[in-house]
Amino acid sequence: MHDRHDETAGSDPLMAVLMGEPVREGDAAAESAERDMALLGEQLKLIGDTLARDAGPPREAGPEQPGETGPEQPGPERVPVVPAGRRRRRRPLFVLAASVAALASLVGAFTLIQYYVAHPSSLSASDSAKSAPRAGDSEGEGSMRLGPGELVACSGLIVEGTVARAERGPAAWLTVTLDIDTHLKPQRGPDRERFRLPVEAAGEITVGARMLVVVSRFDRDGEPSHYYVGDEIPAGRDWVDQGLQAAQGLDCP
């Protein structure tokens, strides 16, 4: 009876290096895996040293000793104090946070390498799953992989109108109230709808602006999967018309 772990370690160079087995001379794949692991170890050590240095107690300034300073220099120009809540973080704290993030990324990558070496079938299954659209994805819930016909078929609402209100809300969201004058899907509906967009859109979405909005059935909380503003609307209408024609007789995948 053979242990599957031993068989995997003997046949896979990366697994052999992870298990500490000696590298066979002339085995290019094993030598490459050994170099990769050595580089990963160096990076982890470098990040650990950075964390230890940046997290150390601040150095206290001692009293000035005679002769350590030159002639008295004019004092620096006074800088206004930044109000509380807008003060920039000190650089050591930023460096510490960045180092922790980098360390977490490297450790996560190392863990994934170990898992996929031990479970090679899981990797191929994961790749197959990514190639097909599915409900439940983040960032558009799979709609970004669909063509115009499929996306329109999967849309619950396509409307055009004028922005009546645009309000910044909590958690960096912009709530847009749209007075609707054109219903494309379905062909009838309320005269007013509210949508939620990232707050970065506030610069282009203002009261009185024209909008064309496409909301996929996969999107949560009324967040449009596509929207067009101002001069973009003619191109958006062409895209929607193309999708409406292609969607005839189609079911949402």
Residue 124 has pLDDT above 50, yes or no: no
Cβ-in-10-Å burial (0-12, 13-18, 19+) of 87 comes to exposed
pTM of the shown model: 0.43
Q: What's the token pair of residue 127?
A: 């790749």
- Of residues 191, 192, 167, 185, the one with CA closest to residue 225: 185
Going across the sheet that includes 226-229, the strands are: 192-198, 173-185, 155-168, 210-216, 226-229
- Of residues 110, 111, 101, the one with CA closest to residue 51: 101
Q: What is the CATH number of the domain that holds 218?
A: 2.40.50.120
Q: What's the token pair of residue 72?
A: 């008295």
Are the beta carbons of 23 and 30 closer than 8 angstroms? yes
Domain count within the chain? 2
Could you tell me if 2 and 125 lie in one domain?
yes
Could you tell me if 98 and 159 lie in one domain?
no
Residue span of the structural domain in which 166 resides: 143-246
Could you tell me if 98 and 169 lie in one domain?
no
Mean per-residue pLDDT, 187-199: 91
Give the angle subtended at the CA of 108 by the CAs of 106 and 113, to the nearest 5°. Answer: 95
Which tens digit of pLDDT belongs to each residue from 59-103? 555 555 555 555 555 555 444 433 333 333 334 444 455 555 555
- Which secondary-structure segment (H or E) carries 233? helix 233-246
Could you tell me if 158 and 229 lie in one domain?
yes
Name the DSSP class of 173.
E
| Within-domain flag for 151 | yes
Could you tell me if 201 and 231 lie in one domain?
yes
